[in-house]
Amino acid sequence: MLFCWKRQKKADPSDDISQYGRVIEAASGCPVLLRGGSKISDKDLVLRTYKAMQPGATGIVYGRNVLQHEHSARMVHALMALVHEGATAEQAWKILKG
């Protein structure tokens, strides 16, 4: 489901994140922000974020997976590396694990 706000679209993660490029294509050039969804494992969150950024997601809108994390600052740094620095999932995982 896409939610539009100020020419940005927030999209829920799909069951098959490899298909996320189709969501980006459907947004017709508008920035797409990946929504966090339900609580998932750290590894799944890092991998899902990486896979969503590859076809062109602009950013992320995460809540509980960051705010409720035992090491929320490290999670923020790992996710920032994925979104802003083009880090790989492995690089982000290393940041998260310290």
**Predicted confidence (pLDDT) per residue in 21-44, tens digit:** 888 888 877 888 888 888 999 999
13 CB burial (10 A radius; 0-12, 13-18, 19+): buried
The enclosing domain of 24 has a CATH number of 3.20.20.70
How many domains does one find in the chain?
Answer: 1
Q: Structure pTM?
A: 0.84
- Who contacts 86 (Cβ-Cβ below 8 Å, separation ≥6)? 53
Which domain covers residue 69, as residue numbers? 2-97
**Predicted confidence (pLDDT) per residue in 48-92, tens digit:** 999 999 999 999 999 999 999 999 999 999 999 999 999 999 999
pLDDT-based confidence at 11, cuts 50/70/90?
low
pLDDT reported for residue 21: 86
